Amino acid sequence: MQNFYNAKEDIVSEAIDGLIASAGGKLRRFDPSSYARVVVRTDWDKSKVAIISGGGSGHEPSHAGLVGPGLLTAAVCGGVYASPSVDAVLSAILEVTGPKGCLLVIKNYTGDRLNFGLAAEKAKAMGHKVEMVIVADDVATANTAQPRGIAGTVFVHKVAGHMSESGASLDDVLATANAINGNLRTLGLARDTCTIPGTEKQDRMAANEVEVGLGIHGEPGVAVETFDDCEQLMKDLSARLIASIDTAKSHIALFNDLGGLNGLESAILFKAFMSSDLAKSAEYVMGPIPIMTALDMPGFSITLVPIEDAYSEALMSKTECDVWPTPQKIVAANPITPPKLDELDFEPSDDASIRSFLNTAIDACLTMEDDLNVLDAKVGDGDTGTTFALAARTVKSELDNLPLANGSDLLAVLGDIKGKSMGGSSGVLFAIMLANASDAFKADPNWSTALSAGLDAMQKYGGANLGDRTLIDALRPALDQMVAGNGIAKAAEAARSGADSTAAMLSANAGRSAYLEARSLDGFADPGAEGIARIFEALASNI
């Protein structure tokens, strides 16, 4: 199973039901048993020009998600990537059109032009005033016989919807919609194509490739480029778009997520856009937001429209639709300087035995990096070895600058290094342990009791105890042996026994393993505990 769908033939109707249920009574639909999948405003009274759009489904939230005051009056939903029927469009026209008439807004695809066009002609023959705007904003296909209509369509929705809400005539609504339609420029790219329910996904891009200008139904683009980094990608896209606009004018830019980007990708790409030459022509920005999508397509499009008197008020006006991304004025970033944190104050010093101890622990961490990563991949996220090794490399690089002859200062500095270099919860936990051990060492300069006190603090904040399948199962027994005066060899034996015991523990009460079921844990030692055991074994063998 790749998607949460039920029967293929019910996808669109069930999705409409979900939209209606979430709309708080603001939307209604034609009866699901009818031939038409149409969503309309609940508050519509036919006293104004109706704005109708639609087309194939699979572009959500467009088009039904844009039904509401100041946007669409109704949306006619076809099957996935399939135009709705003539009868479905005609029924929508008849349902919402009053004496002032209606405007149809469609994208430039043959099925939409034919079905909406014939429905418009039939409605006219029945005495209704109907006009149509066909959006063809795709820069990639601008020089072809039929340029595509893509994300820029939503700007026409907004302008026409505002004019309607203001009580304008059909002629005025049409004129304003045409004014912005002629100025729209959109270009997109993706690192993979879209999905179509029930159809095997095409695999036409290599792992390091992106396709420029592909359509919102997965139609092939005009170029395939190698992906190096996001800034270069945006630079190339910007050059193509800039060639199609008047850079002397101020623009509004829409950054449209095509539906398959994760949040990090979207934010990083948007940052690259804001740093590009293209952004220099934009005074306002909308997004990043998915508004005209393509079923899981991991890509984006950028639409630019110049700010013109003919439609700027309509475009900038507020709307009640939660989906609509209100244009935001571009403001230069003003980073905040973080508060200055107290720096640890210490004098570097040397102690041969402590240096030897640290070097042995460092070498152990570096040697076991790959082994621990392999083990962690079975029960966690595969980075325990790297986490230990990263901290070890940092300590190694600072070894000559450490206060090796001052136990309290050394523990404090090591805690600071662990917190900054290890990352994740491990780094914080070791930082807590060593900071508390530093305080304990001041009161009683005994390494064993100080580290044991630090471990108490780690357990307090981390919440792990013996038997919870964590590094505590190796570290606690080892330090208990040290506190009892039994020496490093006994401590190493205790750590090994504790680490091995975790392989038989079929549940974990802390750490990432706590989210795994028994069969994922059986026979595999906790990687943190294994790492602690190996460090103690290395220390014992170095005596």
Q: Where are the beta strands (DSSP E) in 141-220?
A: 185-190, 209-212
Tell me the C-alpha distance between 14 and 64, whole Å.
13
Taking Cα atoms as reference points, which of 149, 139, 135, 146 lies closest to residue 105?
A: 135
Q: Which amino acid is at 525?
A: A
Q: What is the DSSP letter of 72?
A: B
If you count them, how many residues does the chain have? 543
Per-residue DSSP letter, 240 = H
Chain CA centroid to CA 528, Å: 30
**CB-count burial class (<10 Å; 0-12, 13-18, 19+) for 248:** exposed
Report which secondary-structure segment, H or E, holds 133.
strand 130-135
Residues marked active site are found at 217
For residue 301, the cross-strand partners are 188, 256
Count of beta carbons in the 10 Å neighbourhood of residue 466 = 15
- Written as one string, the DSSP assignment of 198-228 is TBPPP--S-TTEEEES--TT----SEEEE--
Token look-up 């010093």 returns 349
Burial of 226 (0-12, 13-18, 19+ CB in 10 A): exposed
Q: CB-side exposure of 318: number of CA atoms within 13 Å? A: 1
Report yes or no: 329 and 280 within 8 Å, Cβ to Cβ. no
Give the C-alpha separation, 153 to 279, whole Å. Answer: 21
In what side-by-side order are the strands of the sheet with 50-57?
27-29, 38-41, 74-80, 50-57, 102-107, 130-135
188: its two tokens:
């997109």
